Structure 1
Amino acid sequence: MANLQSYFTSFHDAIKLDYDDNKELRDKRDELLEILKENMPSDAGSFSIFHQGSYAMHTGIKSLDRGDYDIDVGLLFSISNVDYPNPVTVKKWVYDALKKKYENVEMKQPCVSVKFEGEGERNYHVDFAVYADSDDDNDTFLARGKLSSNAENRCWEESDPKTLVNDIKNHLSDSKDREQFRRTIRYLKRWKDYKFKGQVNRPTGIGLTVAALTHFQAKSTHDWFSNTKMYNDLEALENFAQNMLNAFVWVMSEKGEWEQRLRVYLPTPPYNDIYAKMTGNQMIDFKEKLDCLLEKIQKAKNETDPVAACKLLEEEFGDDFPVPEESATAQKRGPAILADHSSA
């Protein structure tokens, strides 16, 4: 059995997106926030800012084309959703303020998005999710709707993005286990991007991330000589994929047909099934690709030759998964096991 941990560490380093080191993206975010403050209408009320999405959860990965970087920002307005029955009214404050400076502004169903070209081939976009307080308690509500949405497609949706971020960011008490948790999510997100590229209603990154709260288990052994944990990301991936496959259940579709589905519910309001929009056929494809991933992981796990093992994993994760040269593994053995100290 080849030891592949060092190759997983290299793979993680290649796909990890660390926003703290992405000065261009941070500068654009700050510039956009200044534009918002300067151009917000006088009756809009004040708003506070918080980060959400993979930026805040420390699970970001680089896009496959290397050309699109994004960040999700929450804008919490000090208003009551009851006073503004049409949420698009509030979103339009943000939309109009940004349009005064930028042309490429779009109001999407869950957010207002600004796209712009960076230096070289990099493109950036910042998504602003708009929230309001409730009259009765500390609940927050997400403004959903587009400029052209009719009344049926506009609503205030109860949401608790801050708690969701904290639940994921602080999952697991052991900091090293948490690092493996984040690495494994990143691996699965890259697998998803690679295997479902261009597919409508494909498995989402947030779906895999929330699934990890239930289905991930840290995998390591203890080295008594150095008194450190030796992490095995291959086994963590194997266990995660197996647990998700085991979680598929037979349900009756709206068409009255039985189908297998993986249900992943948000642990915070609105408590919805993140994968509800995937069709029965898309779920079949999801399960089949998970089965294939698990099969390749298990074959790689049983390989004595690290070259052959890494080639199997490269088929699932793409070219960023390193494959060693034959000459470097002439004895059919992987590199010595090392404690993983990579940042998550």
Structure 2
Amino acid sequence: MAYAQTQFEKFHTEILLGFDESTTLRERRDALLNDIKNCISSDAPAYKHFMQGSYALSTGVTPLNGNPDMDIGLSFDCSPDDYEDPLTLKKFVRDALTRNNRTVTIRRPCVTVTYFKDGEATHHIDLAVYSSNSDGQTQLARGRESDPKAERVWDASEAEELTELIVDRFEGDDRNQFRRVVRALKRWRDEKIGHKNVPSIGITVSAYQWFSPSYDSVEGKPRDLIAIRNLANQMLANWNSSRLEVKLPVASYADLFERMTQIQMDDFKSKLETLRDALNEAEAQPDTHEACKILKKQFGNDFPVPEKADSTKKTSAGVSISGRSA
């Protein structure tokens, strides 16, 4: 049996976009927050900022297109009733950030700041704008300048609560494996399906619901191959008729895959089945070299394949599922 755990961990190190790998993004973030602090209109209400998305969850992956991003939340001390047109707050943010060295665009879910080099986007930062209703529930400002007023709306969106739920779902080694598995599936998605066709948050919340840590029953070493395969099996088992439905565990409780077309959903399922089968085939190999050749076809060129002479040791067969989740 080949579990290729060393190679999965090397793969994770290669693809992760974490604190040390995001120096430029962090510097840009700090500059943007400083510009908002110093330049936002005096008519804007007070606000606080917080990190959200994959950076806050420690599940970021270096994108294949070389345009990494970071997500920031700006929570204004006001009610949606104070700004019936949510675009007003987004314009405050846009105007405070507009500079010659970057492009600032009001998109429907956020304000996006993009940086370029030689005409190519190198990285971008998304700033989501929030207020809170009378019940204290966070509301996201949705709408572009080109949208009619009826489509400029406040939507329930508990981003901070979502981050807290996911971060606290597991602890210790279980949490580390959860993050490796999510990152591996995101890179697999990028390689086999495309980033836009299957949203990252859908993969992350699928893991929040169905991930189960896996360890060797003898030595207690992690078995990422088994954990990824078990998660893929759980996702496939929860396919409802022709679609996979994964809802946010917080408001707005939306189905995270609802915007996928049926063609995209069918392709997702087919390729997830192929991944599951490849993981089974890799595990069955007596040689880690051969197992990694199979895995590389699924996860891409960043997945390492050891020399055959270095990969002849067989992995201990016992595997158990840890009950150490938070």
| TM-score above 0.5 | yes
Partner of 2:323: none
Matching residue's letter, 1:114: V
**Secondary structure of 2:305's partner?**
coil
Q: Which consecutive segments of 4 or more residues in structure 1 shift more than 6 A?
A: none
Residue identity opposite 1:182 in structure 2: R
For the 8 Å contact 2:216–2:316, the answer to whether it is kept is no
1:203 aligns with 198
Normalised to the residue count of structure 2, the TM-score between the two structures is: 0.92
Once the two structures are superposed, what CA deviation does each residue of 1:39-96 show, in whole Å capped at 9, x if it has no partner? 111110111010000010011111114x222110000001111111111111111111
1:292 counterpart (262, 274, 277)? 274
Q: How does 1:61-210 map to 2 (within 5 A)?
A: 61-65=61-65, 67-100=66-99, 102-117=101-116, 123-134=122-133, 136-172=134-170, 174-197=171-194, 202-210=197-205
The whole-number CA distance in structure 2 between the counterparts of 1:102 and 1:49 is: 23
Question: Which runs of no fewer than 5 residues in structure 1 stay unpaired?
Answer: 251-259, 338-344
Given that residues 118 and 124 in structure 1 are in contact (C-alpha distance below 8 angstroms), is that contact kept between their aligned partners in structure 2? no
Aligned mates of 1:96, 1:130 — CA distance in 2: 14
TM-score of the superposed pair, with normalisation by structure 1: 0.87
**CA pair 93-241 structure 1, distance change in 2 beyond 3 A:** same
Distance 1:102 1:131, change over 3 A: farther
Percent identical across equivalent pairs? 40
- How far apart, CA to CA, are the structure 2 residues paired with 1:11 and 1:102? 35
Rounded Cα–Cα distance in structure 1 between residues aligned with 2:10 and 2:20 = 20
Tell me the secondary structure at the aligned position of residue 56 of structure 1.
Answer: helix
Aligned to 1:35: 35
**Take 1:3 and 1:58, find their aligned partners in 2: how far apart are those partners?**
24
Letter in 2 for 1:294: R
Displacement after TM superposition at 1:27 (Å): 1.0
Query: Structure 1: how far apart are the matches of 2:99 and 2:283?
Result: 56
How many Å separate the matches in 2 of 1:104 and 1:3?
46
CA deviation after TM superposition for structure 1 residue 328, in Å: 2.2
Aligned residue in 2 for 1:22 = 22
**CA distance in 1 between partners of 2:281 and 2:99 (Å):** 56
Return closer, same or farther for 1:16/1:282 CA change in 2, 3 Å cut-off: same
Alignment-derived partner of residue 322 in structure 2:
none
**Partners of 1:221 and 1:307 in 2: how far apart?**
20
| 1:233 matched to 2:224 | yes
Contact 2:39 2:96 in 1 (8 A): yes
